[in-house]
Structures are given as structure tokens and as C-alpha cells.
Amino acid sequence: MTHAHVDATLARLQAVDWKGDSGFAHRRSRVRLMAEYLRRAALWAQALDATDEWPFFDIAAHVDPSIQVPATQAEDLEALIARGIGWDSVETATRAALGWAALLDAGVSLPPGLEDPFEPLLLMFDRGGAWTIEAGFIDVDGSAVRRKTWRDHLTTRPAVILDQSTLRAWDAKPN
């Protein structure tokens, strides 16, 4: 079996500036990307009867628990996590994103009508690192997304379109 999705996802995670402040320049788009992840995760949580695990959970394990990340790539991710990538929720999300990639590599049939739940987070990471969670807010470089409940994020309307020109436009907006 090919591991193209796992390898690509791991490479993206390894390329993230986890400890720097590169995310400040992309704060607005990163907030929108987090909102989009929360929306997609809410839809997946509802479809998989996993609402008690929302927002950061292993969606792939609910779809097909027999699919595992190859050992070498799992070890590489754990080494990255050990170097300190952020809060527990960030660690959970990176493991879940790699599990999702393994599911894609396995060619498992997915429920219709649901979008890739982890691409918004991967784009957020690409644009400058992680987040923190405090007092009901997910803090993204000094801006925040209210966590609320999964039902509050349950909508078919995207929070942001996942293309570079749209993300750049969000970042270019004046304060």
C-alpha cells in the first residue's frame, strides 16, 4: 500500500514553525481556518455519533478503527510532538490528521457529503503554528474563536474558502 497521504501530511507537520511567531502575519486567515475546522468537525462528529469527543478527535478511528498510521511515520510524529508543538489539543489534532491521511491511503469509503475535516487545520499550521485554549476560547495568535458547542458550529456554510487567494485577502484586511 502506498503512504502518499501519510507522507505528505507528516512532511507538512514537520515543516511547521511550531515555536516561532510566523503566524501573526496570517492571524485573520488562521482564525477563519480554525472556524472552518470546527464546522467540519461538528458535521463529522454528528455523522459518526462522536459529539462527546468534539472538537479535536480521531475521526479516522470512528470511520475504520482497523486502519493505523504506519509505525515509522507514527514514530516520526511522536518525535515531533516530543519537541513541543503545543497544547494537548494540538497533539491530539496532529495525531488525528495523520490518522486521517492513513485512512485516505487505505481507500476507505467515506460518508457522502462530508469534506476533509483536517485540511483547514493543516492550512492553519502551514500559515504559522498552533493555538491555545483558555476560558472557552481557542486563541490563535492573539485573536480568538469561541469554542461554544458542536451544535453552534453545525452549518453547511463554510467559514472560509480554502484557497490561497481567499486566505491572503483575509490577511490583507486592515485592523
Average pLDDT of 112-116? Answer: 95
CA neighbor of 31 nearest in space, from 118, 157, 120:
120
pLDDT over 80 at 175, yes or no = no
**What amino acid occupies position 98?**
L
Radius of gyration of the chain (CA): 15
Phi, then psi, of 140 in degrees rounded to 5: -120, 95
User: Which cell is 174 given?
Assistant: 486592515
pLDDT for 44-60, tens place per residue? 999 999 999 999 999 99
pLDDT for 130-157, tens place per residue? 999 988 899 998 888 999 999 999 999 9
42 in Cβ contact with 54 (< 8 Å): yes
**DSSP SS3 for 112:** coil
pLDDT at residue 165 in the model: 96
136 in Cβ contact with 18 (< 8 Å): no
pLDDT at residue 135 in the model: 86
> What does pTM read for this prediction?
0.95
